[in-house]
Structure 1
Amino acid sequence: MTQDLTRASASELSGLYGARKASPVEVLEAVLDKAARLNPVLNALPLIDAEEARAQARASEARWAKGEPLSPIDGVPVSIKELIKVKGWPLTMASQLTDKAPQTEDATTVSRLREAGSVIFASNSSPEYGFKGVTDSPLNGITRNPWNTERTPGGSSGGAGAAVAAGLGPLSIGTDGGGSVRIPAACTGLVGLKATYGRIPAWPASMHGDLANTGPMTRTTRDAALMLNVLKGADVRDPLALPPTDVDFVAGLDRSLKGLKVGLVLRFGDFFLDPEVEAAVLNAADRFRTLGCEVVPITPPTENGETGRVFVAHWFAALQR
């Protein structure tokens, strides 16, 4: 094929697999080849489990050949944030202080991706214990933004953001307590979703308690919805998980946006707003208006630093649990 398979979305790959125009093995090899070239620069994937991923890709290829894929993301490469349990990998927490013994079981999100046939090929980088909005750690060093390697991809799911933006797998799993999916998604131009708490069960529980969600990071909204369809649903090990739902999050993505209300926040307090950023946000607001949305300016509560104090109180209360 002449198409760059590393730039295809998960949805596009699913179509290519079904039409026998590409295979999971071919896609994985393209991703691994790109990772060999780019990861030494970006430092986004601290662990690449190539041989196990190849076995997963071959199994997926056989399912597609029989017309029996496990899901629309069967055979699609995905990386997992290094704060999340993956069977056979160390749970590093991006720290030199943690036990590096291989884990004996998967976190719920990982097991659901396996059940869907996704190819789990690498871990993606985080700051130590996920405690910063940029991604560097004593264990792995600095992760860089593929759009400009002098810039950060944000954090704490910065490795996920850098990897997906660079074409090192179209799907990734991050975690978000105070913006750790949303910040890197913004810094790297991705779709990052912090779903309603409990929609994606969290087992084992994060050290941030009920502030932290596990969520998809993708290049397209459709891919995020495909992942949410796989990750949703209750888990008896998570007492705060929401009941099962039969909602298809892909359904309706092509409907008109007319009548939807979109909140517009330009400033948080007196912090400097770069004119280029302001122009880009206002341009996006105009695009929503042309699509029929009602754009409503919102002024967040900032009096006497109230917002920051409320967040910090919740944050440290969660850590005490």
Structure 2
Amino acid sequence: MKWRKYFERRLDRGRAARVYHEFECTRGYAAYHAFCQQAWARERPPTPDRGLVHDGYMALDAMSPAAAAGLLERCRRGATPEYLKKDTRNLRGFRVRDEELAEALAAAALSPAVDAAIAGWFGAEYLVHWLTVSETPPGSAPASVSFRWHCDRGPRQHLKLIVYLNDGSEHGGGTAFLARADSLAVAASGYLFGRAKRRTYAVDGLAEYAGRPVTPWQPPTGAGAAVLFEPSTIVHVGIMPTRAPRYALTLCLLPSPLPWREALARGTRSDLMDEDLWHGHAAELLERLAMPEDAARLRGAA
């Protein structure tokens, strides 16, 4: 019980509910999601993927290895790795400043199968809130909070898509996940959203919180392989590369009243070096989409 004993006084079983309430109610992301669902007008809307709904994650083939290599080369050409997120030195890679490149990256990742899985889960169109092309060098110990078991702070109404741009056999890294049932058991202990330094990277520590054994799942990490998951509810951890840098394209996805290409053209993508990770209110997304009347109604509903 050493893990439980160490964290006992620091666990807060109500913290996750407060975080979700802040984003979904105070900041309006739940009402925004409902608005997007009402606006959905696809002729043949996809149905939710059963595995994604049940487990909270799914593996996909986003693109071919050759396409992944080509995208990586395009991002690296004439560039050097730099920080990708303000107020942290834990995320480095190739900053995407050009909207043409951003659209090319998103289009490559959002293949028809990936698009159907995302839209089916949201029950709505979606937009790219932000995207990164990250470089994670090899190491022997958890370098940041991403390499300790965690959930991402944010509304439950969002998804994250990770596309591996170089092969796992080359770098030895990846990502691991707990299925929904195990994630909920860990969450019930009060572990989620605590101080970053108190996160664990040991599976036996997670089992202590869950009160039962847990079995992590690791998706394929071939070049072009992808994993789609619920980052604010599914407990996950980055696996440190051991042999070479790992390159990954990551998209943070939110529901949208308009298709992602149109939303991107209207300026909904955030640059994490210049902007906060989350808007103060979801109505800001509608303002960026040039829908001021709908934005005002959403703010008034809070």
TM-score (norm 2): 0.29
**RCO (CA 8 Å, sep 6+): is it higher in 1 or 2?**
2
The structure whose residues are more often strand, as a share, is 2
TM-score (norm 1): 0.28
